[in-house]
Structure 1
Amino acid sequence: MAEHEAKGAEFEKAAEKKMRGWAFWGYKYDDAADLFEKAANSYKLGKFWEKAGSAYIKRADCHLKLESKHEAASAYVDAASCYKKISAQDSLRCLILAVNHFMEIGRLSTAAKHNKDIGEIYENEQDFEKAMEFFERAADLYHGEEINSTANQCRLKVAQFASQLELYPKAIEIFESIAKESINNSLLKYNVKGYLVNAGLCQICRGDTMALNNALEKYQELDPTFSGTRECKFLDDLVLSIDEEDVEKFTDVVKEFDSLSRLDQWKTTLLLRAKNSLKAKELEEDDLT
Protein backbone atom coordinates (compact mmCIF):
# COMPACT_ATOMS: atom_id res chain seq x y z
CA MET A 1 0.00 0.00 0.00
CA ALA A 2 2.84 2.38 0.79
CA GLU A 3 4.25 1.63 -2.66
CA HIS A 4 0.98 2.70 -4.32
CA GLU A 5 0.89 5.87 -2.25
CA ALA A 6 4.46 6.73 -3.22
CA LYS A 7 3.74 6.04 -6.90
CA GLY A 8 0.62 8.20 -6.74
CA ALA A 9 2.56 11.04 -5.14
CA GLU A 10 5.19 10.74 -7.84
CA PHE A 11 2.61 11.05 -10.63
CA GLU A 12 0.91 13.94 -8.82
CA LYS A 13 4.21 15.80 -8.43
CA ALA A 14 4.96 15.30 -12.12
CA ALA A 15 1.49 16.62 -13.04
CA GLU A 16 1.94 19.76 -10.96
CA LYS A 17 5.36 20.34 -12.47
CA LYS A 18 3.87 19.95 -15.94
CA MET A 19 1.24 22.61 -15.14
CA ARG A 20 3.90 25.07 -14.00
CA GLY A 21 5.86 24.62 -17.19
CA TRP A 22 5.27 25.95 -20.69
CA ALA A 23 3.69 24.06 -23.56
CA PHE A 24 2.09 25.02 -26.87
CA TRP A 25 -1.71 25.11 -27.24
CA GLY A 26 -2.40 24.00 -23.69
CA TYR A 27 -0.85 20.58 -24.16
CA LYS A 28 0.51 20.85 -20.63
CA TYR A 29 -3.04 20.57 -19.29
CA ASP A 30 -3.69 17.44 -21.36
CA ASP A 31 -0.46 15.91 -20.10
CA ALA A 32 -1.16 16.97 -16.51
CA ALA A 33 -4.70 15.53 -16.68
CA ASP A 34 -3.27 12.17 -17.75
CA LEU A 35 -0.74 12.25 -14.91
CA PHE A 36 -3.40 13.14 -12.35
CA GLU A 37 -5.44 10.17 -13.56
CA LYS A 38 -2.43 7.90 -13.11
CA ALA A 39 -1.95 9.34 -9.62
CA ALA A 40 -5.60 8.69 -8.78
CA ASN A 41 -5.38 5.10 -10.03
CA SER A 42 -2.29 4.46 -7.91
CA TYR A 43 -3.97 5.92 -4.84
CA LYS A 44 -7.04 3.76 -5.48
CA LEU A 45 -4.91 0.63 -5.64
CA GLY A 46 -3.61 1.51 -2.18
CA LYS A 47 -7.12 2.48 -0.98
CA PHE A 48 -6.06 6.06 -0.30
CA TRP A 49 -9.52 7.31 -1.20
CA GLU A 50 -9.15 10.94 -0.14
CA LYS A 51 -5.95 11.38 -2.14
CA ALA A 52 -7.51 9.63 -5.13
CA GLY A 53 -10.53 11.93 -4.97
CA SER A 54 -8.30 14.98 -4.73
CA ALA A 55 -6.29 13.84 -7.77
CA TYR A 56 -9.49 13.44 -9.81
CA ILE A 57 -10.58 16.95 -8.85
CA LYS A 58 -7.22 18.27 -10.07
CA ARG A 59 -7.79 16.31 -13.29
CA ALA A 60 -11.20 18.00 -13.61
CA ASP A 61 -9.56 21.41 -13.17
CA CYS A 62 -7.20 20.65 -16.05
CA HIS A 63 -10.10 19.77 -18.34
CA LEU A 64 -11.97 22.93 -17.34
CA LYS A 65 -8.94 24.99 -18.39
CA LEU A 66 -9.22 23.22 -21.74
CA GLU A 67 -13.00 23.90 -21.76
CA SER A 68 -13.63 20.15 -21.93
CA LYS A 69 -16.68 20.08 -19.71
CA HIS A 70 -17.65 16.48 -20.42
CA GLU A 71 -14.22 15.21 -19.36
CA ALA A 72 -14.28 17.51 -16.31
CA ALA A 73 -17.71 16.23 -15.30
CA SER A 74 -16.56 12.62 -15.70
CA ALA A 75 -13.54 13.35 -13.48
CA TYR A 76 -15.86 14.78 -10.81
CA VAL A 77 -17.91 11.58 -10.98
CA ASP A 78 -14.71 9.54 -10.47
CA ALA A 79 -13.83 11.77 -7.51
CA ALA A 80 -17.29 11.26 -6.05
CA SER A 81 -16.89 7.47 -6.28
CA CYS A 82 -13.69 7.69 -4.24
CA TYR A 83 -15.10 10.11 -1.65
CA LYS A 84 -18.24 8.00 -1.27
CA LYS A 85 -16.14 5.45 0.63
CA ILE A 86 -15.11 7.98 3.27
CA SER A 87 -17.23 11.15 3.08
CA ALA A 88 -20.83 11.46 1.88
CA GLN A 89 -20.60 15.26 1.86
CA ASP A 90 -17.50 15.36 -0.34
CA SER A 91 -19.07 12.81 -2.67
CA LEU A 92 -22.22 14.96 -2.93
CA ARG A 93 -20.16 18.07 -3.63
CA CYS A 94 -18.42 16.40 -6.57
CA LEU A 95 -21.60 14.87 -8.00
CA ILE A 96 -23.39 18.23 -7.90
CA LEU A 97 -20.50 19.80 -9.82
CA ALA A 98 -20.67 16.94 -12.33
CA VAL A 99 -24.42 17.36 -12.79
CA ASN A 100 -24.05 21.10 -13.42
CA HIS A 101 -21.52 20.48 -16.19
CA PHE A 102 -23.54 17.66 -17.78
CA MET A 103 -26.58 19.97 -17.80
CA GLU A 104 -24.59 22.74 -19.48
CA ILE A 105 -23.55 20.49 -22.36
CA GLY A 106 -26.97 18.91 -22.78
CA ARG A 107 -26.15 15.45 -21.43
CA LEU A 108 -29.52 15.33 -19.69
CA SER A 109 -29.90 11.58 -19.24
CA THR A 110 -26.45 11.45 -17.65
CA ALA A 111 -27.40 14.39 -15.42
CA ALA A 112 -30.57 12.49 -14.48
CA LYS A 113 -28.55 9.41 -13.49
CA HIS A 114 -26.30 11.41 -11.20
CA ASN A 115 -29.21 13.33 -9.68
CA LYS A 116 -30.56 9.90 -8.80
CA ASP A 117 -27.16 8.98 -7.33
CA ILE A 118 -27.26 12.14 -5.21
CA GLY A 119 -30.76 11.25 -4.04
CA GLU A 120 -29.58 7.80 -2.98
CA ILE A 121 -26.76 9.28 -0.91
CA TYR A 122 -29.18 11.62 0.84
CA GLU A 123 -31.50 8.67 1.41
CA ASN A 124 -28.67 6.75 3.08
CA GLU A 125 -28.00 9.82 5.20
CA GLN A 126 -31.71 9.82 6.22
CA ASP A 127 -32.16 13.30 4.73
CA PHE A 128 -35.48 12.51 3.04
CA GLU A 129 -36.27 16.10 2.09
CA LYS A 130 -33.08 16.40 0.03
CA ALA A 131 -33.47 12.87 -1.30
CA MET A 132 -36.96 13.77 -2.53
CA GLU A 133 -35.64 16.93 -4.20
CA PHE A 134 -32.99 15.12 -6.23
CA PHE A 135 -35.13 12.11 -7.17
CA GLU A 136 -37.72 14.61 -8.41
CA ARG A 137 -35.07 16.36 -10.52
CA ALA A 138 -34.00 12.98 -11.91
CA ALA A 139 -37.60 12.05 -12.72
CA ASP A 140 -38.17 15.32 -14.60
CA LEU A 141 -34.99 14.87 -16.66
CA TYR A 142 -35.72 11.21 -17.46
CA HIS A 143 -39.28 12.13 -18.46
CA GLY A 144 -37.95 14.89 -20.73
CA GLU A 145 -35.70 12.33 -22.41
CA GLU A 146 -38.67 9.91 -22.66
CA ILE A 147 -36.99 7.36 -20.40
CA ASN A 148 -40.35 6.90 -18.73
CA SER A 149 -39.77 3.64 -16.90
CA THR A 150 -36.82 5.06 -14.97
CA ALA A 151 -38.69 8.35 -14.52
CA ASN A 152 -41.52 6.47 -12.81
CA GLN A 153 -39.08 4.58 -10.58
CA CYS A 154 -37.79 7.95 -9.40
CA ARG A 155 -41.32 9.31 -8.97
CA LEU A 156 -42.18 6.34 -6.76
CA LYS A 157 -39.19 7.17 -4.59
CA VAL A 158 -40.45 10.76 -4.38
CA ALA A 159 -43.84 9.45 -3.23
CA GLN A 160 -42.13 7.29 -0.61
CA PHE A 161 -40.16 10.22 0.78
CA ALA A 162 -43.19 12.52 0.64
CA SER A 163 -45.19 10.09 2.77
CA GLN A 164 -42.30 9.73 5.22
CA LEU A 165 -42.35 13.53 5.54
CA GLU A 166 -46.16 13.37 6.00
CA LEU A 167 -46.72 15.16 2.69
CA TYR A 168 -49.54 12.75 1.96
CA PRO A 169 -51.36 14.65 -0.82
CA LYS A 170 -48.14 14.75 -2.87
CA ALA A 171 -47.57 11.01 -2.37
CA ILE A 172 -51.19 10.18 -3.21
CA GLU A 173 -51.06 12.22 -6.42
CA ILE A 174 -47.97 10.34 -7.59
CA PHE A 175 -49.27 6.85 -6.76
CA GLU A 176 -52.61 7.55 -8.43
CA SER A 177 -50.98 9.14 -11.47
CA ILE A 178 -48.67 6.16 -12.06
CA ALA A 179 -51.59 3.76 -11.57
CA LYS A 180 -53.54 5.61 -14.30
CA GLU A 181 -50.55 5.54 -16.63
CA SER A 182 -50.03 1.81 -16.04
CA ILE A 183 -53.59 0.49 -16.32
CA ASN A 184 -53.59 0.15 -20.12
CA ASN A 185 -50.04 -1.15 -20.36
CA SER A 186 -49.96 -4.94 -20.65
CA LEU A 187 -46.60 -5.12 -18.87
CA LEU A 188 -47.37 -2.63 -16.08
CA LYS A 189 -51.05 -3.19 -15.30
CA TYR A 190 -50.25 -5.91 -12.73
CA ASN A 191 -48.55 -3.29 -10.56
CA VAL A 192 -51.63 -1.07 -10.42
CA LYS A 193 -53.17 -2.62 -7.32
CA GLY A 194 -49.91 -2.03 -5.43
CA TYR A 195 -49.92 1.66 -6.35
CA LEU A 196 -53.57 1.96 -5.30
CA VAL A 197 -52.88 0.31 -1.94
CA ASN A 198 -50.02 2.73 -1.35
CA ALA A 199 -52.25 5.68 -2.19
CA GLY A 200 -54.93 4.25 0.12
CA LEU A 201 -52.51 3.91 3.04
CA CYS A 202 -51.51 7.55 2.59
CA GLN A 203 -55.22 8.46 2.65
CA ILE A 204 -55.56 6.52 5.92
CA CYS A 205 -52.66 8.44 7.45
CA ARG A 206 -54.41 11.67 6.56
CA GLY A 207 -57.18 10.53 8.88
CA ASP A 208 -59.99 11.33 6.46
CA THR A 209 -62.02 8.15 6.02
CA MET A 210 -64.60 9.90 3.83
CA ALA A 211 -61.83 10.87 1.42
CA LEU A 212 -60.59 7.28 1.46
CA ASN A 213 -64.08 5.90 0.78
CA ASN A 214 -64.35 8.25 -2.19
CA ALA A 215 -60.87 7.23 -3.31
CA LEU A 216 -61.76 3.53 -3.11
CA GLU A 217 -64.73 4.12 -5.40
CA LYS A 218 -62.45 5.94 -7.81
CA TYR A 219 -59.87 3.15 -7.68
CA GLN A 220 -62.48 0.53 -8.51
CA GLU A 221 -63.63 2.60 -11.48
CA LEU A 222 -60.03 2.90 -12.66
CA ASP A 223 -59.38 -0.83 -12.25
CA PRO A 224 -62.59 -2.91 -12.14
CA THR A 225 -60.57 -5.95 -10.99
CA PHE A 226 -59.40 -4.10 -7.87
CA SER A 227 -62.70 -4.57 -5.99
CA GLY A 228 -62.19 -8.34 -5.79
CA THR A 229 -58.63 -8.22 -4.49
CA ARG A 230 -57.24 -8.87 -1.02
CA GLU A 231 -55.74 -5.37 -1.17
CA CYS A 232 -59.12 -3.69 -1.64
CA LYS A 233 -60.64 -5.70 1.22
CA PHE A 234 -57.66 -4.71 3.37
CA LEU A 235 -58.32 -1.02 2.82
CA ASP A 236 -62.07 -1.47 3.35
CA ASP A 237 -61.49 -3.28 6.65
CA LEU A 238 -59.03 -0.63 7.82
CA VAL A 239 -61.55 2.11 7.09
CA LEU A 240 -64.23 0.22 9.01
CA SER A 241 -61.98 -0.20 12.04
CA ILE A 242 -61.12 3.50 11.98
CA ASP A 243 -64.79 4.50 11.65
CA GLU A 244 -65.56 2.29 14.64
CA GLU A 245 -62.49 3.64 16.46
CA ASP A 246 -61.50 0.07 17.21
CA VAL A 247 -57.73 -0.23 17.71
CA GLU A 248 -57.90 -3.97 18.32
CA LYS A 249 -59.81 -4.56 15.12
CA PHE A 250 -57.32 -2.37 13.22
CA THR A 251 -54.46 -4.50 14.59
CA ASP A 252 -56.21 -7.75 13.64
CA VAL A 253 -56.82 -6.52 10.08
CA VAL A 254 -53.13 -5.66 9.68
CA LYS A 255 -52.00 -9.00 11.16
CA GLU A 256 -54.29 -10.98 8.89
CA PHE A 257 -53.11 -9.18 5.77
CA ASP A 258 -49.44 -9.46 6.81
CA SER A 259 -49.81 -13.22 7.26
CA LEU A 260 -50.83 -13.54 3.61
CA SER A 261 -48.92 -10.68 1.96
CA ARG A 262 -45.84 -9.63 3.87
CA LEU A 263 -45.86 -5.92 4.64
CA ASP A 264 -42.69 -4.01 3.85
CA GLN A 265 -41.07 -1.46 6.15
CA TRP A 266 -42.66 1.51 4.41
CA LYS A 267 -46.21 0.14 4.76
CA THR A 268 -45.53 -0.91 8.35
CA THR A 269 -44.40 2.62 9.21
CA LEU A 270 -47.56 4.18 7.75
CA LEU A 271 -49.83 1.66 9.44
CA LEU A 272 -48.13 2.26 12.78
CA ARG A 273 -48.73 6.00 12.38
CA ALA A 274 -52.40 5.38 11.65
CA LYS A 275 -52.71 3.02 14.61
CA ASN A 276 -51.06 5.50 16.98
CA SER A 277 -53.39 8.22 15.75
CA LEU A 278 -56.37 5.95 16.36
CA LYS A 279 -55.07 5.14 19.86
CA ALA A 280 -54.65 8.84 20.66
CA LYS A 281 -58.20 9.52 19.54
CA GLU A 282 -59.50 6.65 21.68
CA LEU A 283 -57.63 7.95 24.74
CA GLU A 284 -58.88 11.47 24.15
CA GLU A 285 -62.46 10.29 24.10
CA ASP A 286 -61.89 8.17 27.22
CA ASP A 287 -60.67 11.30 29.01
CA LEU A 288 -63.86 13.11 28.05
CA THR A 289 -66.15 10.44 29.47
Structure 2
Amino acid sequence: MSERLSGRVAVVTGGGNGIGAATCLRLAEAGASVVAVDRDAEAAESTAETVETETGRRALAVTADVSEEAQVRRTAETVEAEFGGVDVLVNNAAVRVEPRPVTEADEESWDRIISVNVMGVAFCSKHLVPLMDEGGAVVNVASNGAAVARPNWSQYDATKGAIVSMTKDMACDHAADGIRVNAVSPGWVITEYHLPDDEDEARRFFEERTTPHPDGPGVLKRAAEPREVADVVSFLASDEASFVTATNVPVDGGVAAVGKGLSWAAYEGSSASDDAN
Protein backbone atom coordinates (compact mmCIF):
# COMPACT_ATOMS: atom_id res chain seq x y z
CA MET A 1 0.00 0.00 0.00
CA SER A 2 1.27 3.47 -0.91
CA GLU A 3 2.75 5.39 2.01
CA ARG A 4 1.61 8.76 0.71
CA LEU A 5 1.82 10.26 4.22
CA SER A 6 5.16 8.83 5.29
CA GLY A 7 6.83 10.83 8.05
CA ARG A 8 3.82 13.04 8.71
CA VAL A 9 1.84 13.68 11.87
CA ALA A 10 -1.96 13.55 11.72
CA VAL A 11 -4.41 14.66 14.41
CA VAL A 12 -7.92 13.22 14.18
CA THR A 13 -10.68 14.46 16.47
CA GLY A 14 -13.47 12.09 17.35
CA GLY A 15 -10.85 9.43 16.76
CA GLY A 16 -12.27 6.90 19.18
CA ASN A 17 -15.00 5.43 17.00
CA GLY A 18 -16.62 5.33 13.61
CA ILE A 19 -15.22 7.49 10.83
CA GLY A 20 -12.60 8.92 13.19
CA ALA A 21 -11.19 5.55 14.18
CA ALA A 22 -11.22 4.35 10.57
CA THR A 23 -9.42 7.53 9.54
CA CYS A 24 -6.73 7.08 12.18
CA LEU A 25 -6.03 3.59 10.90
CA ARG A 26 -6.10 4.63 7.25
CA LEU A 27 -3.71 7.55 7.76
CA ALA A 28 -1.33 5.30 9.68
CA GLU A 29 -1.45 2.76 6.86
CA ALA A 30 -0.44 5.63 4.58
CA GLY A 31 2.62 6.23 6.75
CA ALA A 32 1.54 8.88 9.27
CA SER A 33 1.98 8.98 13.00
CA VAL A 34 -1.48 9.50 14.46
CA VAL A 35 -3.01 11.36 17.39
CA ALA A 36 -6.51 10.09 18.23
CA VAL A 37 -8.40 12.80 20.13
CA ASP A 38 -11.65 11.87 21.82
CA ARG A 39 -13.58 12.81 24.95
CA ASP A 40 -13.88 9.06 25.62
CA ALA A 41 -10.44 8.12 26.94
CA GLU A 42 -11.01 4.38 26.59
CA ALA A 43 -12.11 4.72 22.97
CA ALA A 44 -9.10 6.88 22.08
CA GLU A 45 -6.74 4.38 23.72
CA SER A 46 -8.38 1.52 21.83
CA THR A 47 -7.87 3.29 18.52
CA ALA A 48 -4.24 4.07 19.30
CA GLU A 49 -3.60 0.46 20.28
CA THR A 50 -5.23 -0.81 17.09
CA VAL A 51 -3.18 1.57 14.96
CA GLU A 52 0.11 0.53 16.54
CA THR A 53 -0.73 -3.17 16.42
CA GLU A 54 -1.92 -3.22 12.82
CA THR A 55 0.46 -0.72 11.24
CA GLY A 56 3.49 -0.37 13.51
CA ARG A 57 3.07 3.41 13.37
CA ARG A 58 3.28 5.56 16.44
CA ALA A 59 -0.15 6.45 17.82
CA LEU A 60 -1.01 8.73 20.73
CA ALA A 61 -4.37 8.89 22.49
CA VAL A 62 -5.45 12.27 23.87
CA THR A 63 -8.58 12.79 25.94
CA ALA A 64 -10.27 16.11 25.19
CA ASP A 65 -13.68 17.66 24.62
CA VAL A 66 -13.26 19.82 21.51
CA SER A 67 -16.01 22.17 22.67
CA GLU A 68 -13.74 23.32 25.52
CA GLU A 69 -11.02 25.62 24.21
CA ALA A 70 -8.76 25.07 27.22
CA GLN A 71 -8.76 21.32 26.54
CA VAL A 72 -8.00 21.89 22.87
CA ARG A 73 -5.14 24.20 23.80
CA ARG A 74 -3.67 21.51 26.05
CA THR A 75 -4.08 18.99 23.24
CA ALA A 76 -2.07 21.21 20.91
CA GLU A 77 0.63 21.63 23.56
CA THR A 78 0.82 17.85 23.98
CA VAL A 79 1.07 17.25 20.24
CA GLU A 80 3.79 19.87 19.87
CA ALA A 81 5.76 18.40 22.77
CA GLU A 82 5.46 14.84 21.45
CA PHE A 83 5.87 15.41 17.71
CA GLY A 84 7.12 18.96 17.21
CA GLY A 85 4.32 19.90 14.82
CA VAL A 86 1.31 18.82 12.78
CA ASP A 87 0.96 18.02 9.07
CA VAL A 88 -2.66 16.86 8.89
CA LEU A 89 -5.71 17.89 10.93
CA VAL A 90 -8.98 16.00 10.53
CA ASN A 91 -11.84 17.81 12.29
CA ASN A 92 -14.21 14.89 12.67
CA ALA A 93 -15.65 15.14 16.20
CA ALA A 94 -19.39 15.82 16.22
CA VAL A 95 -22.57 15.11 18.13
CA ARG A 96 -26.22 14.77 17.25
CA VAL A 97 -29.22 15.95 19.22
CA GLU A 98 -32.73 14.52 19.11
CA PRO A 99 -34.06 15.26 15.60
CA ARG A 100 -36.90 17.79 15.71
CA PRO A 101 -38.19 20.85 13.85
CA VAL A 102 -36.70 24.24 14.70
CA THR A 103 -39.99 25.17 16.35
CA GLU A 104 -39.42 22.44 18.94
CA ALA A 105 -35.67 22.83 19.46
CA ASP A 106 -34.57 24.22 22.81
CA GLU A 107 -31.63 26.45 23.73
CA GLU A 108 -29.75 23.64 25.46
CA SER A 109 -29.72 21.43 22.37
CA TRP A 110 -28.62 24.35 20.17
CA ASP A 111 -25.82 25.21 22.57
CA ARG A 112 -24.63 21.60 22.67
CA ILE A 113 -24.57 20.91 18.95
CA ILE A 114 -23.03 24.25 17.98
CA SER A 115 -20.38 24.06 20.71
CA VAL A 116 -19.08 20.70 19.42
CA ASN A 117 -19.83 20.67 15.71
CA VAL A 118 -18.92 24.28 14.91
CA MET A 119 -16.85 25.67 17.78
CA GLY A 120 -14.95 22.38 18.03
CA VAL A 121 -13.74 22.81 14.45
CA ALA A 122 -12.91 26.44 15.16
CA PHE A 123 -10.96 25.72 18.37
CA CYS A 124 -9.01 22.79 16.91
CA SER A 125 -8.11 24.79 13.82
CA LYS A 126 -7.14 27.80 15.94
CA HIS A 127 -4.67 25.85 18.03
CA LEU A 128 -3.41 23.13 15.67
CA VAL A 129 -3.13 24.87 12.30
CA PRO A 130 -0.37 27.16 13.68
CA LEU A 131 1.68 23.99 14.29
CA MET A 132 1.80 23.37 10.52
CA ASP A 133 5.14 25.12 10.08
CA GLU A 134 5.85 23.63 6.66
CA GLY A 135 2.36 23.61 5.20
CA GLY A 136 -0.21 20.90 5.63
CA ALA A 137 -3.77 19.79 5.07
CA VAL A 138 -7.00 20.23 7.00
CA VAL A 139 -9.98 18.00 6.30
CA ASN A 140 -13.28 18.94 7.93
CA VAL A 141 -15.99 16.30 8.16
CA ALA A 142 -19.32 17.83 7.19
CA SER A 143 -22.41 15.96 5.95
CA ASN A 144 -24.49 15.71 2.81
CA GLY A 145 -27.29 17.01 5.03
CA ALA A 146 -25.76 20.43 4.39
CA ALA A 147 -26.85 20.13 0.75
CA VAL A 148 -30.03 18.05 0.73
CA ALA A 149 -33.10 18.62 2.89
CA ARG A 150 -34.56 16.08 5.28
CA PRO A 151 -37.24 16.56 7.94
CA ASN A 152 -36.34 17.21 11.59
CA TRP A 153 -32.58 17.55 11.08
CA SER A 154 -32.31 21.36 10.98
CA GLN A 155 -29.94 21.62 13.93
CA TYR A 156 -27.42 18.99 12.83
CA ASP A 157 -27.53 19.99 9.18
CA ALA A 158 -27.14 23.69 10.03
CA THR A 159 -23.88 22.94 11.83
CA LYS A 160 -22.61 20.92 8.89
CA GLY A 161 -23.52 23.71 6.49
CA ALA A 162 -21.48 26.04 8.65
CA ILE A 163 -18.51 23.68 8.34
CA VAL A 164 -18.74 23.71 4.54
CA SER A 165 -18.67 27.51 4.53
CA MET A 166 -15.89 27.65 7.11
CA THR A 167 -13.82 25.25 5.00
CA LYS A 168 -13.88 27.53 1.97
CA ASP A 169 -12.90 30.61 3.99
CA MET A 170 -10.16 28.77 5.86
CA ALA A 171 -8.71 27.69 2.53
CA CYS A 172 -8.46 31.33 1.51
CA ASP A 173 -6.93 32.33 4.84
CA HIS A 174 -4.15 29.73 4.78
CA ALA A 175 -3.30 29.18 1.12
CA ALA A 176 -0.28 31.46 1.40
CA ASP A 177 1.00 29.25 4.23
CA GLY A 178 0.93 26.17 2.03
CA ILE A 179 -2.07 24.76 3.89
CA ARG A 180 -4.96 23.23 1.95
CA VAL A 181 -8.40 23.02 3.55
CA ASN A 182 -11.15 20.73 2.27
CA ALA A 183 -14.30 19.06 3.55
CA VAL A 184 -15.90 15.69 3.03
CA SER A 185 -19.64 15.23 3.25
CA PRO A 186 -20.59 11.66 4.08
CA GLY A 187 -24.07 10.29 3.69
CA TRP A 188 -25.25 7.45 5.89
CA VAL A 189 -22.20 5.65 7.28
CA ILE A 190 -22.73 2.59 9.46
CA THR A 191 -20.80 3.11 12.68
CA GLU A 192 -21.05 1.80 16.23
CA TYR A 193 -23.74 4.43 16.79
CA HIS A 194 -26.18 2.53 14.56
CA LEU A 195 -25.41 -1.05 15.57
CA PRO A 196 -27.45 -3.22 17.95
CA ASP A 197 -25.69 -4.43 21.09
CA ASP A 198 -25.92 -8.09 20.14
CA GLU A 199 -22.84 -9.03 18.11
CA ASP A 200 -24.65 -11.30 15.66
CA GLU A 201 -27.44 -8.78 15.10
CA ALA A 202 -24.87 -6.02 14.64
CA ARG A 203 -23.06 -8.04 11.98
CA ARG A 204 -26.31 -8.72 10.12
CA PHE A 205 -27.36 -5.08 10.32
CA PHE A 206 -23.98 -3.89 9.03
CA GLU A 207 -24.05 -6.32 6.10
CA GLU A 208 -27.65 -5.47 5.23
CA ARG A 209 -27.15 -1.71 5.23
CA THR A 210 -23.84 -1.75 3.33
CA THR A 211 -25.20 -4.07 0.61
CA PRO A 212 -27.19 -2.51 -2.27
CA HIS A 213 -30.95 -2.77 -1.82
CA PRO A 214 -33.80 -1.46 -4.01
CA ASP A 215 -35.01 0.71 -1.14
CA GLY A 216 -31.54 1.96 -0.24
CA PRO A 217 -30.52 5.64 -0.51
CA GLY A 218 -28.77 7.40 -3.38
CA VAL A 219 -27.41 5.95 -6.59
CA LEU A 220 -25.53 3.08 -4.98
CA LYS A 221 -28.60 2.14 -2.89
CA ARG A 222 -26.66 1.43 0.29
CA ALA A 223 -24.91 2.96 3.26
CA ALA A 224 -21.13 3.28 3.50
CA GLU A 225 -18.52 1.62 5.65
CA PRO A 226 -16.38 4.08 7.68
CA ARG A 227 -13.35 2.99 5.69
CA GLU A 228 -14.87 4.38 2.51
CA VAL A 229 -14.91 7.88 3.99
CA ALA A 230 -11.44 7.43 5.49
CA ASP A 231 -10.02 6.62 2.06
CA VAL A 232 -11.18 9.99 0.72
CA VAL A 233 -9.83 11.81 3.78
CA SER A 234 -6.47 10.13 3.23
CA PHE A 235 -6.37 11.30 -0.38
CA LEU A 236 -7.24 14.89 0.53
CA ALA A 237 -4.56 14.88 3.22
CA SER A 238 -1.88 13.75 0.78
CA ASP A 239 0.21 15.45 -1.90
CA GLU A 240 -1.84 13.58 -4.48
CA ALA A 241 -4.48 16.25 -3.79
CA SER A 242 -1.96 19.09 -4.05
CA PHE A 243 -4.24 21.20 -6.27
CA VAL A 244 -7.43 20.51 -4.32
CA THR A 245 -8.52 23.10 -1.77
CA ALA A 246 -11.66 25.01 -0.71
CA THR A 247 -13.66 22.00 -1.90
CA ASN A 248 -16.42 19.91 -0.35
CA VAL A 249 -16.32 16.31 -1.55
CA PRO A 250 -19.58 14.33 -1.24
CA VAL A 251 -18.95 10.76 -0.08
CA ASP A 252 -22.55 9.68 -0.05
CA GLY A 253 -23.17 7.14 -2.78
CA GLY A 254 -24.88 9.74 -4.95
CA VAL A 255 -27.51 10.81 -2.43
CA ALA A 256 -26.88 14.54 -2.93
CA ALA A 257 -27.16 14.08 -6.68
CA VAL A 258 -30.59 12.44 -6.66
CA GLY A 259 -32.09 13.47 -3.32
CA LYS A 260 -32.16 11.53 -0.11
CA GLY A 261 -35.13 9.39 -0.98
CA LEU A 262 -36.38 8.95 2.57
CA SER A 263 -36.92 5.21 2.24
CA TRP A 264 -34.80 4.36 5.26
CA ALA A 265 -36.76 6.64 7.58
CA ALA A 266 -34.62 9.70 6.82
CA TYR A 267 -31.51 7.81 7.85
CA GLU A 268 -33.40 6.44 10.85
CA GLY A 269 -33.66 9.95 12.23
CA SER A 270 -35.64 8.98 15.32
CA SER A 271 -32.43 8.05 17.14
CA ALA A 272 -31.55 9.84 20.37
CA SER A 273 -28.60 12.17 20.90
CA ASP A 274 -25.17 10.60 20.79
CA ASP A 275 -21.77 10.95 19.18
CA ALA A 276 -22.19 11.43 15.45
CA ASN A 277 -19.12 9.56 14.27
Do they superpose with TM above 0.5? no
Higher helix content, 1 or 2: 1
Higher strand content, 1 or 2: 2
- Structure with more relative contact order (C-alpha pairs < 8 Å, separation 6 or more): 2
Q: Which structure's CA Rg is the greater one?
A: 1
